[in-house]
Structure 1
């Protein structure tokens, strides 16, 4: 059962937030990149997309927190599953967020070959169902639509999660607001600044493997 639910979209500093939570003692923290390591959970996530019952405790075995997709797609379910959990909504300038998404994950999906290696196909299907179809209704290329979805998501989480249970957080703010929210001391070390391109790199490898098959 996770104690920290990350409701922020991918490319909002989720890799840095993962590292920060783990440094503060709330790890291991699940991140989109973890799905590539724990492929046994892919079909659980696909079930969740289809509205089927999911054993969240099983999916998150060994984890204390979660950020990034696919978990962020199910922030309501995860927040309800553990009513004592805290919710962190990571945010970023919408224009910069769209540019980052467009140049990484969306480009990789657009360039994916028609035929993928069997071990990669379910992962790409998950990305399509959770993100591109599930969140953006297949219209991410429509920038105005994607930005509207992003802004509506932020408003929705802010509206539905009680203020004492929610932190709206930009990683550029550093340790202080995060530590105050979680009730832990501020570390002496600098706040982690990481750029998550792990999932993007994996998809690029899949694209090359499919092209050479």
Structure 2
């Protein structure tokens, strides 16, 4: 481990992941932490973890960022005391919270993502074991039921968590290993801090204003895995439903259920006529 990105989500973490990747570092961001280290993070939240646990988690990784890792930046630093720390923050906490709120609402209202949460076993498990504990601990946010539109984000608590995290980093990170940075500054200060050449390409800017749902669904390895599970679940459900309808049509129920049978048969026949 060489680099710990200690900034909270919505401070430029996705852009930093891409920038570090372009500089040749192996980066574990939010997706890699959930997809590759799911069991390890489940242990952290439900059993606790030692410094040796964190060392094993990241011994073959160059850089780590985003939640849940950024919340545990200090423990990761204890495991890798020579790591450099990159700390990002927004101009003010209102700007940060509005960006966070926009992303949460954007994701929760996305039908495809809701469907994933309903049909993907991986999503169920990660949501329960890692994502929800992280949201509660780091952001003071309790995710709503999957199909509920009652999205309640505690602004006062979220801002308090943000302030406390930032203050802790600034107070406790070794000053000679710390870069206070904003992605709007581009390559120069980052590359100077890391002592690497400045690339010829423009500095990447990802997840601007939190509107990244479509891109993630198309490119994120974790979401792609969940989509495969979703397609399988939907296909299996469709086969079982079709078989059930077929059995009902072939073997009509008793007279006590005749009205329900008639409705089901008519609906099935209408569906066949439209296909």
Give TM-score scaled by structure 1 length: 0.81
Instruction: Encode CA deviations 1:38-71: one digit per residue, 9 max, x unaligned.
Output: 2xx2121121123234633442354211111121
Match of 1:136 among 136, 139, 163: 139
Determine if contact 2:55/2:80 at 8 Å carries over to the other structure: no
Determine if contact 1:104/1:200 at 8 Å carries over to the other structure: no
| 2:167 is equivalent to residue 166 of structure 1 | no
CA distance in 2 between counterparts of 1:167 and 1:155 reads 15
Cα 1:61–1:83 shift into 2, 3 Å: closer
- SS of the residue aligned with 1:46? helix
- SS of the residue aligned with 1:194? coil
| 2:167 is equivalent to residue 155 of structure 1 | yes
After TM superposition, list the pairs within 5 Å mapping 1:197-212 onto structure 2: 197=212, 201=217, 202=223, 209=230
After TM superposition, list the pairs within 5 Å mapping 1:74-113 onto structure 2: 74-93=72-91, 94-105=93-104, 108=107
Instruction: Encode CA deviations 1:84-130: one digit per residue, 9 max, x unaligned.
Output: 11111122232232222212236545885885532211221211101
Counterpart of 2:49 in structure 1 is 52
Q: CA deviation at 1:193?
A: 1.4
Cα 1:107–1:127 shift into 2, 3 Å: farther
Cα 1:70–1:109 shift into 2, 3 Å: farther
CA distance in 1 between counterparts of 2:18 and 2:216 reads 18
Aligned length: 206
CA distance in 2 between counterparts of 1:158 and 1:116 reads 42
Counterpart of 1:127 in structure 2 is 131
More helix by share: 2
RMSD: 3.0
For structure 1, the residue ranges without an aligned partner over 5 or more in a row are none
Determine if contact 1:42/1:122 at 8 Å carries over to the other structure: no
Q: CA deviation at 1:36?
A: 5.0
Q: Which moved more, 1:162-171 or 1:48-57?
A: 48-57
For structure 2, the residue ranges without an aligned partner over 5 or more in a row are 143-151, 218-222, 238-275
Determine if contact 2:4/2:73 at 8 Å carries over to the other structure: yes
Give TM-score scaled by structure 2 length: 0.65
Displacement over 4 Å in runs of 4+:
109-116, 198-201, 209-213
CA distance in 2 between counterparts of 1:106 and 1:123 reads 19
